[in-house]
Amino acid sequence: MWGALPDACLDQLFRTARTYKWWDDHPVTEADIRAIYELMKWGPTSGNVTPARFVWVTTEEAKRRLEPLLDIYNRKKTMKAPATVIVAYESDFRPTLDRLNPEAAEWFEEHEAREYEAFRSGTLQGAYLILAARALGFDCGPQGGIDRAGIDREFFAGTTIRSNFIISIGRGSDHRLKPRAHRLAFEDANRII
């Protein structure tokens, strides 16, 4: 096993990383997007189901499709981001289990179990994507203020893929960056039994 990461790495991933709303002009290229995915895909999911699906919104045309599906207060900051990824999940991931984990197919025969696991593991993969982007030097602005049903119609019509949240990615600007919000103390959120 490895030892702990250096403090500078932990800072970049967690302690000094921020949720950005404003962006500089630094692009997010296809090579960057591929590098983020290639890193994040190694994060664990239940039974290796890997249900997350991603749509990377980078062109002006794609941004115009996404814009009306954002809450009004999210539109300006999202449109300025060089890339915004729609984090979604495949609610019927069974066809990919032949390659990923054939033994797991029987665990997810029931629709309710499949739907729950798709959402849970897909959300985990969205979090891994944030960490992968930060590890590669990008800043992130995750957002839940979206019209999920509208995004599903616009970007996933005719599929069993459902949207979850979005993440704007780029190089964050300190323009109007607010002081960091507090987090719960260990005693407020933990019990050791």
Query: Which domain CATH number covers 142?
Result: 3.40.109.10
Residue 110 has pLDDT above 80, yes or no: no
Which pLDDT score, from 0 to 100, does residue 94 have?
75
Residue 101 has pLDDT above 80, yes or no: no
The reply to whether 152 falls in a domain is yes
Cα–Cα dist 94/98, whole Å: 8
The reply to whether 2 falls in a domain is no
- pLDDT level of residue 172 (50, 70, 90 thresholds): very high
The reply to whether 68 falls in a domain is yes
State the amino acid at position 54 in one-letter form: F
Which pLDDT score, from 0 to 100, does residue 99 have?
83
Alpha carbon 49 to its chain's center: 16
Mean pLDDT of the chain: 93
pLDDT, greater one: 137 or 96: 137
Which pLDDT score, from 0 to 100, does residue 8 have?
96
Q: What is the residue range of 123's domain? A: 21-172
The reply to whether 189 falls in a domain is no
The reply to whether 193 falls in a domain is no
The reply to whether 11 falls in a domain is no
How many domains, the chain?
1
The reply to whether 192 falls in a domain is no
The reply to whether 187 falls in a domain is no
pTM for this entry = 0.93
